[in-house]
Structure 1
Amino acid sequence: MSDEELPGQLRLAVGRLSRRLRQMVAAQQDHDGISFIETAVLTRLERDGPSSPGALAGSERVTSQAIAGVVTQLEGRGLVRRSPDPTDGRRVIVAITDTGRSALNDRQELIVRRLQTALSTEFTPAERKRLAAAVPLLERLAGSL
């Protein structure tokens, strides 16, 4: 593959992989009721810690109104909790609960198991090694866009 063909082929392959992962998440949503955006919010709270709704909206590139609805849904199911910001009583801080952490971990484990099965049955050890070597490059590419 030439340098000129690489961007287009990479876009197609990553796009296809992304769609398949979203389909897996959607199938899991039918099972556990947690939407893609809800999963993204839970993941961000798990990784980065408590946050304001405005910061969550910015990081997920959605409106504050959209995040407000997501947080309300998550809070109603006990997956997050809101509390007053200790430095500014007018603001609210959102944190993931133990129940939310457990739901997120269950979902992620299921998807990782499915990926592991595909990798172990469809790819040789040498191919898995090549895929592993590509991950840091894909991360670097994502960061540069």
Structure 2
Amino acid sequence: MSASAVRAAHEIRVVIGRLRRRIKETYDNEELTPSQTSVLSRLSKEGPASASALAAAERVRPQSMAATLAALDERGLIQRRPDPDDGRRQLVSVSETGGAFLDDKRRAGEEWLTRALESGYTEAERRTILEALALLDRLTRV
């Protein structure tokens, strides 16, 4: 492996990690625990799931998932309905309130990023960032 590939891999990982944490700081006011946020985001992206499927996906014990879901349910962020394939189970999905909550969080992060790009970078630098992003996007297809 070339030295430049090794260095680029390290720098990409470090910078993306920092940027992700910084964006998260813009909306993470401890309204939800990291576990609750992860489950709500997963349900939003992947659709309805059973509690046991969520526990497996999140790599937690079913009892821990039950507590996480109870907290989300108490806040009205999820809804439960019988599984049409197995009436003994329930499927959990994001409620309308939960979807709005996630939208607000995403919007806050995007607004912060837009302001930071507008105030901290020249037009030429923003174009360079866009060009670099196109290259980074190729990594998602390797």
With normalisation by structure 2, the TM-score equals 0.79
Q: 1:114 to 1:100 in 2, by over 3 A?
A: same
The answer on whether the counterparts of 1:25 and 1:36 sit within 8 Å (CA) in structure 2 is no
Q: Report how many residues are paired.
A: 140
Q: What is the letter of the counterpart of residue 108 of structure 1?
A: R
Letter in 2 for 1:13: V
Worse-superposed segment, 48-57 or 59-68: 59-68
CA distance in 2, matches of 1:143, 1:55: 27
Q: Residue by residue, what CA displacement relative to the aligned partner does 1:38-90 show, whole Å, maximum 9, x if unpaired?
A: 22222222232211223323433444333222111010111101122111122
Structure 2 runs not aligned, ≥5 long: none
Which is higher, the Rg of structure 1 or of structure 2? 2
Alpha-carbon contact 2:23-2:113 (below 8 Å) kept: no
Q: Percent identity?
A: 37
Matched, 1:90 2:92: no
What is residue 65 of structure 2 aligned with on the other side? 67
Change (3 A) 1:124 1:64: farther
Q: For each residue in 1:83-136, what CA deviation from the matched residue of structure 2 results, as whole angstroms up to 9, or x when unmatched?
A: 221111222200111111111111211121111111111122232233334445
Inter-partner Cα distance in structure 1 for 2:47 and 2:26: 26
Instruction: Write the distance in 1 (CA, Å) between the matches of 2:57 and 2:73.
Output: 19
Higher relative contact order (CA 8 A, sep 6+): 2
Relative distance call for 1:140 and 1:90 in structure 2 (3 A) is farther
